[in-house]
A and B are shown apart, each in its own frame.
Chain A
Amino acid sequence: MITFEDWLSALTSSQEGRIVWANYQYDLKKHNLESSVYDDFKSAVEKRLADSSPPVQLFDAIVNGEPDKFDLKCSRRLLRTEAYSRVIEVTDFAIYNLRLEELGLELDEEIGRRVWDKLGVTITSYYHGGTMKTRRNFFWCLPTHRLDLIHATTSPAQEASVVRNKLGLYHIDKNQRLLRIDIPPDVLSGKRVCAPTSLDAGINIVFAPCDDTRGVGWALDLETLSKSVEELIIEALTFTADYTVVKIGIVSEVVPTLNMNTLEANAVGR
């Protein structure tokens, strides 16, 4: 009979699994997650052990499959809210946050470039639509002043690469286009805003939970693999004309090589 311990042993047989588990343990140790979340998680794993699914896959399936139990559960209270912004790649923005049907703009592999060229000219806030979220029912953001600071201290040609690196967005490659969406403060009323936990991050090796007393999380810088800028997650929001969308720029540099050993040592030693 397969036990939870067997599953854990299999999970931590991979470097990715060890990083994820170390982050989860940190969240529990620092009381970022209530003990009831741990109980729910363990119980969910045990219920599905018979599937014999690969352990990382099971971890992912559980946190994705039960949002009420595992999403936005950081118990550390955010001391003060401020202005927040989301950084998004233009193709995602075009497909999920624009009412292209009102323009008649066709969807193909060039949609990102086409929207980029027309943004602020033909494409105005009138065309905003959809929901601000990822596949899960929340999205990642950072304080607006951090982006302002990067904007003020970086050359326009470098800005998108610097933002990508500071936010740990290792999936954003050279030549991809980044936008910044400023969130109107009044839409956050009654919405959950908190630091991300290891369960929100899922199988994400470029993630570090933290115990910041202000209740914020911190993104990992792709170049240094250390803390760079505050990051938070926000419950899904309806995206309307009230949001401001600004072009950050086109990423001009390739993704820095990530040292898995450093990431693991940092996670385990945290």
Chain B
Amino acid sequence: MSFKGEHPIWSKGAQLQWLEGLSVEDLKSWLRKLVWTQDSHPLVPPSQSISITYFADVIGRGTSALTCKVREVVPSLLQEWGRNDPMQCLDDLLVLSALLRCAAAEATIAIIASERITGTAEEVELKKRCLSVLSGFGCSEHSAPLFYRHLEDINYSAYCFRALYRYKLSYAVATLPTVVAIHKAADKLQALKGVLTLLFFDYLNLRQRIALWRDIIDHTEPMQLEEMLRTLQSLGIVLSVNRHASQEIEVIYDYSVVEPKKAGEKVQIYDFQVTSLAAINRALEAFLTSSNRIAQAVGASP
């Protein structure tokens, strides 16, 4: 009678030591077993934990040699994943890539996102994960076209927008109207508020924010700009100046046919345009009465 294998290893320190001792090939075999069959033997993850994030944490505490080995192995495991394999395997590999910054997997993940997963609900979730991991590596000249291509899909728009503006802030100027329009059309304004709060109030400082607004105003079509500003105003991202402060004015001329007022009566004016008109009238009155010469010139009675 014989049972192969080692005694279980449950402490993080001992697990790390065991992992450090593996060759690249053995590490690859162990990770493959972990991802494809949930078998981490001889390492034992705690029952309250999620095994992939738990082992990412263990590996992340190791030497740079161990991290390098993992970064070498994970991209090739990603290449092994096929459409007939469980989706959970790919998700685990993507999480591992992100938490251990396996940037060498960038090209493989980009290919998976654009060619190997298509459109079922489960695959949409996986594509989101792909884009979030690629964005975590930092958008590059290789991944920028992928992000740009998915910008107008509401499922991925926020990931793509953030990845692009973190790569080059000028992308924020070019893509903001599209992102606002996409979210508005999909009735995702609350999500848009979060996306824009991250950009304007988390990522940018005051000086950068003002510079960005200047560029947005300069480079956006007026109609589109106004439409966008109205949306952002409704979300509290931009605030309107309070033009409608109530003020009390004296009626001089009454143009109203609905509720005629007597000259000298005090009324509350709430509407900016009416207030402005009243102010102009008042100025004109003052002008006409104080300058007989010009008043005559414009035909007024002396």
Contact = CB atoms under 8 A, between A and B. Distances in A.
Nearest to B125: A101
B8 A203 contact: yes
A104 B199 CA distance: 10
A201 interface: yes
A100 B47 contact: no
The prevalent SS among residues of B at the interface is: helix
A53 interface: yes
Given A104-B198, A135-B51, A57 B39 contact: yes
B1 to A, nearest CB: 5
Contacts of A10: 1, 3
Contacts of B135: 104, 106-107
B132 A100 contact: yes
Contacts of A200: 47
Contacts of A173: 12, 57
B4 A53 contact: yes
A204 interface: yes
Contact of B41 (A54, A100, A170): A54
A171 B56 CA distance: 12
Interface stretch (A73-81, A89-97, A145-153, A187-195): A89-97
Contact of B202 (A101, A118, A139): A118
Contacts of A258: 11
A106 B163 contact: yes
Contacts of B161: 104
B198 A105 contact: yes
Contact of A107 (B12, B39, B41, B95): B95
A53 B198 contact: no
Interface string B40-53: 01101111111101
B47 A201 contact: yes
Contact of B155 (A101, A103, A109): A101
Given A16-B7, A16-B10, A171 B54 contact: yes
A60 B133 CA distance: 31
Interface in A104-160: 104-109, 111, 118, 122-123, 126-127, 134-136, 139-140
A68 interface: no
Contacts of A100: 132
A226 interface: no
Interface in B1-43: 1-8, 10-12, 38-39, 41-42
Contact of A109 (B3, B60, B159, B191): B60
Interface stretch (B97-105, B217-225, B254-262): B97-105
B159 A104 contact: yes
B70 to A, nearest CB: 12
Contacts of B155: 101
Contacts of A104: 135, 157-163, 195, 198
A106 B159 contact: yes
A171 B99 contact: no
Contacts of B41: 53-54, 56-57, 60
A89 B118 CA distance: 32
B50 A135 contact: yes
Contact of B98 (A111, A170, A207): A111
A217 B129 CA distance: 36
Interface string B176-197: 0000000000001011001101
A169 interface: yes
A102 interface: yes
A56 B8 contact: yes
List the 8 closest A-B pairs by CB distance, nearest first.
Answer: A54-B5, A104-B158, A108-B136, A104-B162, A106-B135, A57-B41, A102-B191, A106-B136
30 contacts: A10-B1, A14-B7, A54-B3, A56-B42, A95-B53, A101-B131, A101-B156, A101-B158, A103-B198, A104-B157, A104-B162, A105-B132, A105-B198, A106-B159, A107-B95, A107-B129, A107-B132, A107-B135, A109-B99, A109-B101, A134-B49, A140-B47, A140-B48, A169-B46, A170-B11, A171-B49, A201-B47, A203-B10, A203-B47, A204-B44
